[in-house]
Chain A
C-alpha cells in the first residue's frame, strides 16, 4: 500500500471512531448496540402498541381509557368481545364523556357500545350529546407519544423511523366501527319518520367532528364518507353515482330549510363543501406516496449504518482468519489434500442436510468442498503475493456480495425493518424481504472459498497460502468498502435526520394538518 492509501485508510479509521463515539452520530448504530445488548426491543414490548397488548395498561388517565376502548373495538372486530365487556366499555365511555363532555369521541364510543348492547335510548342520547360537542380527540396522539418516548429512551435519540412506524400505528379501527354504525343509523332511517331529520343532523355533526379531529387521513376519510352518507336516502343509498350524491346533498339542505332549521341547513351545506375542500387539499393517493417515500428513506437510514458496521467488522474478522491460516498451514494442507477434501465435503454436506433438510445447498457444499481435491501436480515454492487483477475482481465482487447479504440479514432482524417494511409494500422491499438469504449466502461463501483451488490450479500455487490470500483479500475488501460506506451514510443521515424526523413526526401527530399546511406533495 502506498502512502496515499495508508493516509486514506487512516482517515477512514479515524472517521469511523469519531462516528461511533460522537453523541450526535452514536444513536444511528443503536440497532447493532441493541442487538448486542440482548435486551427486548421497546417496539416489541411497549404496552401502548395494540399489537403488543396482552393486558391493557391501568386506567390512570384519559389516554389509557381511550386505549381500552380501542382495544375493545379491535376485539369486537375479531368477534372476541363478550357482552359483559361491552357493558364495561360502555360504562367507561359514559364516565369519560361526563368528565370531558366537549369531546365527541367519548359520546360516539358510548353510542357504539350502547348499540352493541341494543340499548337504543342510551345510543340516541349519546349521538345527540356527541353532536353538540366541540372537538374530537381519540387520545391516540398521546399514546403514540408514549411509544416514541420509550423508543427515544432506548435509542438515546428521536430517530426518523420511530415516527415513520408510528404513522400507521394510529389505528382507524374504532373510528371505522363508529362511522359504520353512524352510517347504518342514518341509512336505515326512513325519510317519513319524524325523527329522521334529527338522526341525520346528529350524524352530520358527529361526522364533521370525526373528519376534523381524525389526525390521520384514513380516519378523516371515515368522517367524510359518513357526512356523505347522511345525505343519502332511498335508492341513492345504494348508488355511488356522483350526480345522485350531489342531488342528495341539496335535497338534505332543502329538507332542513323546509323544516325551518336554517342554521342546520347552513351547517350541512358547509360540511359538504368542506368535504370537497378536504379531498382537494389532502389527496389520499398523493399523501400515501409521499408517506411511503419518507418512510423508505427513514428505513434505509435506520438500518444502513449498523449493517455497514457489522459487515466491516465481519470483513476484519475474515482477514484475521486469513492471516491465522498461515500459522496452521500444515493442517490446512492436510484438510485440502486429495484424499481428505472429499471426506470433509461429504461430512459437512450431510451435517447441513440433517440439520436444515435443504438438499440443494448440501449438494452444493459437497461439490464445492470436494473441488479442493484437485491440487496442482507441480507447485511453486513462493507464496502468492499478487495473483492478478482478475483474482482481485472475483474475490472483491464475491466478498462485497457476502457483506451486503450479511448487512441485509441483520437489517431484517431490526425493529425498524419489521415495523416499516410491511407498510411500504414496494417491489424492492418485498423482494428483499422475501429473499432467501441463507441460500444466497451459502452460494457466495462457497464460491469465494473455491477461488483458492481454482487459482492454485491455474497458477500452480499450493492451496493453503492461496486460501489465506483469498480470505485476506476478501476480508480487506469488505472491511474497507463497508467502512467507507458507513462514513458516507452516517454523515448523510446526520445531516438529513433532523428534517426527516420533523416531517415524519408531523405526519404521525396529525397527518391531515400536515398536508393541509404543506400542500399536495407534502414538501
Chain B
C-alpha cells in the first residue's frame, strides 16, 4: 500500500487540502526588511574585505612597532654644544722656538 493511497484517519482528501492551504504562511515583510538585508550584505562585504586586508594590516602594524623600537634604540644622542675649534689647532710652544731673525741682520 502506497503512502498516497493510505486513507487519513481523520480528514478526507478535500478537507486535507483545505487545511493545507490554510496552513500556508504568508510572509509579513516589515518596513525595515530592505534596510536589514542591505545592512547584512554590507556587513558581509566588510567582513570579506577585512579578512582580505587583515594580513596587510597585521604586517603594517608589526613593521611600525618594530621599526619605531629599532629607531629608538639606534638613535643615540649626539655630542651636544659646540666644539672649541681653537683647542685642537697646532700651536708652537713659546718656550722652545723664537726664531732670532732680528739678530741675523
Contacts and interface: CB of A to CB of B under 8 A. Distances in A.
Contact of B59 (A8, A19, A137, A198): A8
B67 interface: yes
15 contacts: A3-B55, A8-B59, A10-B55, A15-B67, A25-B71, A158-B78, A198-B101, A201-B104, A204-B99, A209-B92, A212-B92, A261-B100, A261-B103, A267-B97, A267-B99
Q: For chain B, which range describes its interface: under 10, 10 to 19, 20 to 34, or 35 or more residues?
A: 35 or more
Contacts of B88: 509-510, 513
B22 interface: no
Given A14-B61, A212-B90, A22 B52 contact: no
Contacts of A22: 67-68, 71
B102 interface: yes
Contacts of B75: 24
A13 B74 CA distance: 21
A293 interface: no
A201 to B, nearest CB: 5
Given A18-B67, A137-B89, A9 B74 contact: no
Given A6-B56, A10-B57, A198-B105, A142 B97 contact: no
Contacts of A510: 88-89
A170 interface: no
B63 A18 contact: yes
Interface in A21-44: 22, 24-25
Query: In this complex, which of A10, A132, A213 has the most chain B Cβ atoms within 10 angstroms of its Cβ?
Result: A10
Nearest to A196: B104
A18 B102 contact: no
B74 A24 contact: yes
Interface of A: 3-4, 6-15, 17-19, 22, 24-25, 128, 131-137, 141-142, 145, 158, 194-195, 197-198, 201-202, 204-205, 208-209, 212-213, 215, 259, 261, 263-264, 267, 491, 494-495, 498, 509-510, 513
Contacts of B63: 10-15, 18
B83 to A, nearest CB: 8
B76 to A, nearest CB: 7
B58 interface: yes
Nearest to A135: B91
Interface string B65-81: 00110110011101000
B55 A6 contact: yes
- For the residues of B in contact with A, the DSSP-based class is helix
A7 B55 contact: yes
Given A10-B56, A137-B86, 19 more contacts: A4-B55, A7-B58, A8-B59, A14-B60, A14-B67, A18-B64, A18-B68, A22-B67, A22-B68, A25-B71, A131-B101, A132-B99, A158-B78, A208-B92, A495-B74, A498-B76, A498-B78, A509-B88, A510-B88
A132 B98 contact: yes
A292 B57 CA distance: 44
B68 A131 contact: no
B71 A24 contact: yes
Contact of A141 (B52, B85, B100): B85
A176 B75 CA distance: 42
Nearest to A23: B75
Contact of A19 (B67, B78, B98): B67
B50 interface: no
A205 B78 contact: no
Contact of A10 (B59, B86, B97, B101): B59
Contact of B99 (A11, A15, A205, A498): A205
